[in-house]
Amino acid sequence: MTADVTATSTDELLAALETVRDPELDEPITSLGFVASCTVSEGGDAQVRLRLPTYFCAPNFAYLMVADAYDAVSALPGVRSTSVVLEDHFAADAINGGVAAQAGFVRSFDGEAVAELDGLRADFLRKAVMAGTDQVCRPLLAAGRDQAALLAMRLGDVPPSHALDRLRDRRGELGLPAGESAPLLIDPVTGAAIDAGALPLHMRKAQLTRTSIEANSGICRGMLRHRYDTRGQGEEDQ
Amino acid sequence: MYEHNGEKYFIVDSHMHYWNAAPDNWVPGAEQYAKGWIECFHAYQGLGPPETHWSLEHFQKYSEDDLMKDVFEDGHVDVAIFQPTNLKEWYTEGFNTTERNAEMGRKHPGKFIYNTNFDPRDGDLGLEELKRHVGEYGSIGVKLYTAEWNNGSRGYKLSDPAAYRYLEAAQKLGIKNIHVHKGPTIWPLDKDAFDVSDIDHCATDFPDLNFIIEHVGLPRIEDFCFMATQEPNVYAGLSVVIGGLMYARPNFFNKVMGELAFWVGEDKMTFGSDYGIWEPKWQVEGFVNWEMPDREEFADYPRIGVAGKKKILGLNAAKLYGIEVPAECRLPADAGTPAAQDDAQLVAGA
């Protein structure tokens, strides 16, 4: 080990980008294939190029991904300058310029938007919590628990899994109970525990929300593949 | 008509187009949007079977002969419903207008139904045009884009007072079916333009109108389903669901169809090929042949049988549009009523 600040590697850059999610699909932009390229020079100048499934993908979500990627990369200790560029998108100039200038969404789209995107992000985090509830509960039910047994379960009672970690992360991001003693089933808006009367509908909604997100992700991957014949950095097949 | 295993399916393609998106129709200065739009549509076609893909050039502008062959001759369709999309900001003569559709369709009597459109922000002039279209084309349906920009307005809600004025006028003119695009869109930028809560209000306040939500709110199917299950006059337009998922993502197609069967019911789903995005032939044949796999992950979904497929592929839309169905294609008396509005009992209490 030396005491010098070590140069950032491409792997570290990619790891940082893995923390950036498509807010709607709740998946990393890397595994979705949205990172066209990412490089960092020895001096710490990072350059990231992002791509999306269509020219007209919703600019609000696109903005969030570009801005989040910028934040994740520029927070790396060895990075001196950061450039994140969205390619082949109708609003690319406004988004790229706005993110580089740290202008925020409303100022980046002068006259075309009146609200920042925090509310949108929270709405989709709630959907991710519902989808995650299905992901965590389905194996429990398959293992023989009946649905009513889920009501009494705490997060700490659930066997460890990637899906559980993810559910706890999303709940934490929303400020909802996410500790060991928190109920497994909660309302994603209020955080209140689900009661027996609301249980069947809650589980149906969780399943439907997961289906919706996963089907959408399938369409986005198909469109991306049609548009680009190269694989993204860190892209994973579903 | 499509015949399979001795069963005769009457096919109504309730959502299709006849567009010109070739460079000769691009508005100068807006070429990048006109080009980007049609390329985006073309990418959707990529989700269908490879042997049904067209070149971009063909996709930009297909001919009347192409349409007649793809939809009727090869595609099994009995009656097709044109859904217009103006987009005159990008396409000089519009992308797919009622006028263009009717000019072509009139050469083929009995094959087409011409829906028109309106935008409540167009005031009295728009109402005049609606009246003229209903008179000229006999429209009983409209296709609406609530997320469209109009003179600086960033979209509208169908629950707005101006929209209610239009809905009332449309109803008086004889319009029965309101197709609403709730699906992939672009503007307004900071809004979730897929929001279906406005439909919740107007469906309650206009019980004699049918609201067909095209693309079932994809990618927000859950919001659509939670709303639709409470409104007897809300229908699921399956354009994009069959075309975009059945071949490319069969497992998700199973799940999405299972969810729609549960929340909305087979009496309230309508097939639409979205032609020219996808040809109807493979969609009709594939859907008739489709069965929900007998696996644990699909166990709690309602099954859609022959009668359900007949309703979805044609009988529901025929009911909504008053299309005469040949006796050999009708359902036996014990198979339920197409387009019945009381199919939500599955989720009573939702």
Which of A56, A90, A147, A227 has the highest number of chain B CBs within 10 A, making it the mutation to test binding with B?
A56
Tell me if A146 sits within 8 A of B226, measured CB to CB: no
Residues of chain A with C-beta less than 8 angstroms from the C-beta of B218: 212, 215-216, 219
Report the percent of chain B where pLDDT is more than 90.
80
Q: What range does the domain containing B285 cover? A: 2-347
Residues of chain B with C-beta less than 8 angstroms from the C-beta of A218: 245, 248-249, 252
Q: Evaluate if residue B145 carries a pLDDT over 90.
A: no
Same domain for A32 and A110? yes
Q: What is the C-alpha to C-alpha distance for residues A60 and A111, in angstroms, rounded to an integer?
A: 14
Q: In the predicted model, what is the mean pLDDT of residues B178-206?
A: 76
Q: Which amino acid is at A70?
A: Y
Residues of chain B with C-beta less than 8 angstroms from the C-beta of A204: 262, 347
In this structure, are strands B177-181 and B141-144 parallel, antiparallel, or unpaired? parallel
Find the CATH number of the domain harbouring A47.
3.30.300.130
Ordered DSSP codes for B139-208: --EEEE-TT-EETTEE---TTSHHHHHHHHHHHHHT--EEEEE-SS---STTS-TT--HHHHHHHHH-TT
Q: What is the C-alpha to C-alpha distance for residues B240 and B8, in angstroms, rounded to an integer?
A: 24
Same domain for A21 and A104? yes
Number of domains in chain B: 1
In this structure, are strands B210-214 and B234-237 parallel, antiparallel, or unpaired? parallel
For chain B, the residues whose C-beta falls within 8 A of a C-beta of chain A are 32-33, 36-37, 39-40, 43-44, 46-47, 154, 184-193, 218-222, 225-226, 244-245, 248-249, 252-253, 255-256, 259, 262-263, 296, 347, 349-350
Tell me if B202 sits within 8 A of B158, measured CB to CB: yes
Q: Sheet holding B112-114: strands in order across?
A: B12-16, B79-82, B112-114
CB contact under 8 A, B190 and A227: no
The pTM (predicted TM-score) of the whole model is: 0.92
Same domain for A157 and A134? yes
Three-state secondary structure call for residue B302: coil
Q: Evaluate if residue B188 carries a pLDDT over 50.
A: no
CB contact under 8 A, A117 and B225: no
Tell me if A222 sits within 8 A of A214, measured CB to CB: no
The overall average pLDDT reported for chain A is: 92
Q: Evaluate if residue B211 carries a pLDDT over 90.
A: yes
Same domain for A108 and A128? no
Residues of chain B with C-beta less than 8 angstroms from the C-beta of A56: 36-37, 40, 184, 186
Q: Which amino acid is at B342?
A: D
Find the CATH number of the domain harbouring B81.
3.20.20.140
Q: What range does the domain containing A101 cover? A: 10-116
Buried b (16+ CB within 10 A) or exposed e, A183-208: bbbbbbeebeebeeeeeeebbbbbbb
Taking each helix axis as running N to C, give the angle between helix B250-263 and helix A199-227, from 0 to 180 degrees, rounded to the nearest 10: 140
Residues of chain A with C-beta less than 8 angstroms from the C-beta of B33: 90
Rg (chain B; Cα; Å):
19
Q: Which amino acid is at A74?
A: S
Q: Work out the number of other CB atoms within 10 angstroms of the CB of residue A142.
A: 10
What is residue A187's DSSP assignment?
-
Number of domains in chain A: 2
CB contact under 8 A, A117 and B190: yes
Beta pairing partners, B179? B143, B212
Which of A219, A229, A238 has the highest number of chain B CBs within 10 A, making it the mutation to test binding with B?
A219
Q: In the predicted model, what is the mean pLDDT of residues B239-255?
A: 95
Same domain for A187 and A111? no
pLDDT, greater one: B193 or A198: A198
Confirm whether A234 is domain-assigned.
no
Q: Work out the number of other CB atoms within 10 angstroms of the CB of residue A137.
A: 23
Same domain for A100 and A139? no
Among B46, B186, B253, the residue with its CB nearest the CB of A222 is: B46
The tens digit of pLDDT for each residue in A108-121 reads 877 667 677 888 88
Same domain for A136 and A193? yes
Confirm whether A1 is domain-assigned.
no
Three-state secondary structure call for residue B15: strand
Q: Evaluate if residue B350 carries a pLDDT over 70.
A: no
Q: Chain B: give the shortest CA distance to residue A15, in Å.
A: 28
The tens digit of pLDDT for each residue in B288-330 reads 999 999 998 899 999 999 999 999 999 999 999 999 999 999 9
Confirm whether A3 is domain-assigned.
no
Token couple for A194: 């689900």
Given A116, A145, A179, the domain boundary residue is A116
Which pLDDT score, from 0 to 100, does residue A109 have? 78
The tens digit of pLDDT for each residue in B5-40 reads 999 999 999 999 999 999 999 999 999 989 999 999
Q: Sheet holding A35-40: strands in order across?
A: A35-40, A45-50, A81-86
Tell me if B213 sits within 8 A of B178, measured CB to CB: no
Confirm whether A230 is domain-assigned.
no
Given A99, A116, A133, the domain boundary residue is A116
Q: In the predicted model, what is the mean pLDDT of residues A157-168?
A: 97
Q: Chain A: give the shortest CA distance to residue B288, in Å.
A: 21
Q: Tell me which H or E stretch contains A200.
A: helix A199-227
CB contact under 8 A, B350 and A201: yes
Same domain for A26 and A108? yes
Same domain for A147 and A210? yes
Q: What is the C-alpha to C-alpha distance for residues B3 and A118, in angstroms, rounded to an integer?
A: 52
Q: Which is nearest to A206 in space by CA: A187, A192, A221, A219? A: A187
Which pLDDT score, from 0 to 100, does residue B190 have? 47
Q: Evaluate if residue A190 carries a pLDDT over 50.
A: yes
Which pLDDT score, from 0 to 100, does residue B337 have? 81
Q: Which amino acid is at A179?
A: G
The tens digit of pLDDT for each residue in A24-71 reads 999 999 999 999 999 999 999 999 999 999 998 888 889 999 999 999
Confirm whether A140 is domain-assigned.
yes
Which pLDDT score, from 0 to 100, does residue B344 have? 43
Q: What is the C-alpha to C-alpha distance for residues B153 and B252, in angstroms, rounded to an integer?
A: 36
Which of B52, B222, B245, B296 has the highest number of chain A CBs within 10 A, making it the mutation to test binding with A?
B222
Q: Tell me which H or E stretch contains B210.
A: strand B210-214
Q: What is the C-alpha to C-alpha distance for residues A176 and A168, in angstroms, rounded to an integer?
A: 9
pLDDT level of residue B192 (50, 70, 90 thresholds):
low
pLDDT level of residue B348 (50, 70, 90 thresholds):
very low
Q: Chain A: give the shortest CA distance to residue B259, in Å.
A: 7
CB contact under 8 A, A112 and B218: no
Confirm whether A44 is domain-assigned.
yes
Confirm whether A198 is domain-assigned.
yes
Which pLDDT score, from 0 to 100, does residue A8 have? 83
- Helix spans in chain B (H): 31-45, 56-60, 64-67, 98-105, 123-137, 161-173, 197-205, 221-228, 241, 250-263, 280-289, 306-310, 316-321
Confirm whether A65 is domain-assigned.
yes
Q: Which is nearest to A90 in space by CA: A60, A56, A49? A: A56
Q: Chain B: give the shortest CA distance to residue A227, in Å.
A: 7
Three-state secondary structure call for residue A210: helix
Same domain for A139 and A93? no
CB contact under 8 A, A218 and B256: no
Residue of B nearest to A120 (CA): B192
Beta-carbon pairs below 8 A across chains A and B: 115
Residue of A nearest to B301 (CA): A204
CB contact under 8 A, B219 and A219: yes
pLDDT, greater one: B188 or B330: B330
Q: Evaluate if residue B226 carries a pLDDT over 60.
A: yes
Which pLDDT score, from 0 to 100, does residue B193 have? 60
Helix, strand, coil shares, percent, chain A, to 5: 50, 10, 40
Residues sharing a CB contact under 8 Å with residue A25, sequence separation 6 or more, in sequence order: A32, A213, A216, A217, A220
Q: Evaluate if residue B155 carries a pLDDT over 80.
A: no
The phi and psi torsions of B86 (rounded to 5 degrees) equal -75, -60
Same domain for A129 and A80? no
CB contact under 8 A, A109 and B296: no
